[in-house]
Structure 1
Amino acid sequence: MYSKFNFLNLQLSNFKIKMSKVVLITGGSSGIGKSVGEFLTQKGFIVYGTSRNPQSIKNHPFKLVALDVTDIKTIDAAVTEVISKEGRLDVLINNAGMGITGPIEETPTEEMRKVFDTNLFGAIDVMKAVLPQMRAQKSGLIINVTSIAGYMGLPFRGIYSATKGALEIVTEGIRMEVKGFGIEVTNVAPGDFATNIASGRYHTPVFENSPYKKTYQENLDLMDAHVDSGGDPIEMAKAILKIINTPKPKIHYKVGDFMQKFSIILKKILSDKMYERLLMNHYKL
């Protein structure tokens, strides 16, 4: 009787392992990606994060594979590695991204292109890499991490807003294209969270003779203050777990404090000029 009981436990354990969903998180070495990966690992998911140099990261709470979203060869290699080890890939969380600040007039165009390559085209290339496996499985979920800033053009963050807004629209399109294969695609737009995102931004310098010197510096200080006082990234992790457990996810999700989410509603109901005036007052322009 004892041996049968142990055998039954072993079978149930093996079944649970087989049913654990395999998750790939781009940009999983720090910030929101790390918080989400650690949380999902604790919930029993098989999680792989990505980093451009995973060997340099010690004692990470989940597995890391090498991937640079601007390098298609590394994307293909990372996806192949996960699938070869686990036999499947159930969830992609497209989280890798970078920020950029500065007056558009003074920001180098090549720096703008780098941010588009990371935030938009990088996310697209990772989606393209995982879709064949998900189509073969007849199931899969892609969660694109965008930003509440992607719903509006913000002063001195217009390029960042544009990259995230573009990814929201791309998601709407590809979602319809792949739905017939049993694959779901959705966006989740975070507001300000307490992470190290500011350290990875491209900051256009505050030039001494710039006509934007005063307003740009004030807005840089305001942005940093928002990040420093931002919410706990665990809220993003909980939101993403809820999305994963939702059979038919919505197209758009927003995660942030009330006023950040309410700003999107205001944009829909106010006139363009009234909403612009509201933003300019907020940013002291």
Structure 2
Amino acid sequence: MSKVVLITGGSSGIGKSVGEFLTTKGFLVYGTSRSPERYPSSKFPIVALDVTKNQTIIDAIKDVLSKEGHIDVLINNAGVGITGPIEETPEAEIRNNFETNLFGPINVIKAALPGMREHGSGLIINITSIAAYMGLPYRGIYSASKGAFELVTEAFRMELKGSNIEMTNVAPGDFATNIASSRYHAPILENSPYKKDYGNTLNLMNSHVDSGKDPLLMAKAIYKIINTPKPKIHYKVGESMQKFSIVLKRILPDKLYERLLIMYYKL
């Protein structure tokens, strides 16, 4: 029997690549989008779900369960980027980022767990970010929301001990997707003390996405995880130097690591 996979944010970017790849491997894949009618040519079904609206989460899970009877793999991929000086980022945008990147995915997990428990097994893969491992300048809110999701996963794993439900984090680096066009950018204000540094950093971040890895790399990594009986707690996928930056933070004194980031971003 083919495994049933539900991917939030499955209409574009990493989610779309993962869904298409898993479909070629024989999985029954469902993706989600706030506007599924916009994707009539998707290679797998897209159901309506907005992670910031809990009723749509409940309805989407019920929809898939009514059709397939169970969900074997949940991939929490839906998320949104945000850039800007924290001082100049509107509170509403900060809250929206946490609603999308943290509270929403938690609600998706909560909605999926009863069915997995009844089925006797399940795998939940949470897509976070390498940025979750460090507070990056002008990406502080994004780092914080994704970092919180990493910690939530660690806690969930222990709470689910003995349930035969596995959970893991996958932290991607920069991939060539449309995330830069859809994320919130705090405006570069003419009289802002951050004008020069934020402008330069924003250009650097956008160039990293433009030259990022092929999302197929993420798809292959997730396929491998699905076929691993006991997944690790954390996975990192991306450029070697991006992954090595996490190692450096672990072994270097805090202020030395901070200086390296300041030099890297030319602040």
TM-score when normalising by structure 1? 0.93
Amino acid at match of 2:133: Y
User: Residue 57 of structure 1: CA displacement?
Assistant: 1.5
Please name the residue that 1:260 is paired with: 242
Please name the residue that 1:247 is paired with: 229
Select the residue among 94, 100, 106 that pairs with 1:112.
94
Select the residue among 21, 25, 49 that pairs with 1:67.
49
Measure the CA separation in 2 of the matches of 1:260 and 1:108: 29
Measure the CA separation in 2 of the matches of 1:276 and 1:181: 41
Q: Which moved more, 1:263-272 or 1:54-63?
A: 54-63
Please name the residue that 2:178 is paired with: 196
Please name the residue that 1:16 is paired with: none
Measure the CA separation in 1 of the matches of 2:38 and 2:24: 23
Amino acid at match of 2:181: S
User: Residue 58 of structure 1: CA displacement?
Assistant: 2.4
Gaps of at least 5 residues in structure 1 are 1-18
Residues 24-43 of structure 1: pairs in structure 2 closer than 5 A: 24-43=6-25
Measure the CA separation in 2 of the matches of 1:88 and 1:278: 47
Percent identical across equivalent pairs? Answer: 72
Measure the CA separation in 1 of the matches of 2:181 and 2:207: 13
User: Residue 110 of structure 1: CA displacement?
Assistant: 1.2
Q: Which moved more, 1:258-267 or 1:176-185?
A: 176-185
SS at match of 2:161: helix
Please name the residue that 2:134 is paired with: 152
Amino acid at match of 2:130: I
Select the residue among 132, 146, 170 that pairs with 2:114.
132
Amino acid at match of 1:102: G
Measure the CA separation in 1 of the matches of 2:210 and 2:12: 16
Please name the residue that 1:10 is paired with: none
SS at match of 1:249: coil
Residues 1-285 of structure 1: pairs in structure 2 closer than 5 A: 19-285=1-267
User: Residue 179 of structure 1: CA displacement?
Assistant: 2.5
Measure the CA separation in 2 of the matches of 1:113 and 1:180: 34
SS at match of 1:154: coil
> Once superposed, what is the RMSD of the aligned Cα atoms?
0.5
Gaps of at least 5 residues in structure 2 are none
Structure number with larger C-alpha Rg: 1
User: Residue 200 of structure 1: CA displacement?
Assistant: 1.0
Please name the residue that 1:3 is paired with: none
SS at match of 2:188: coil
SS at match of 1:253: strand
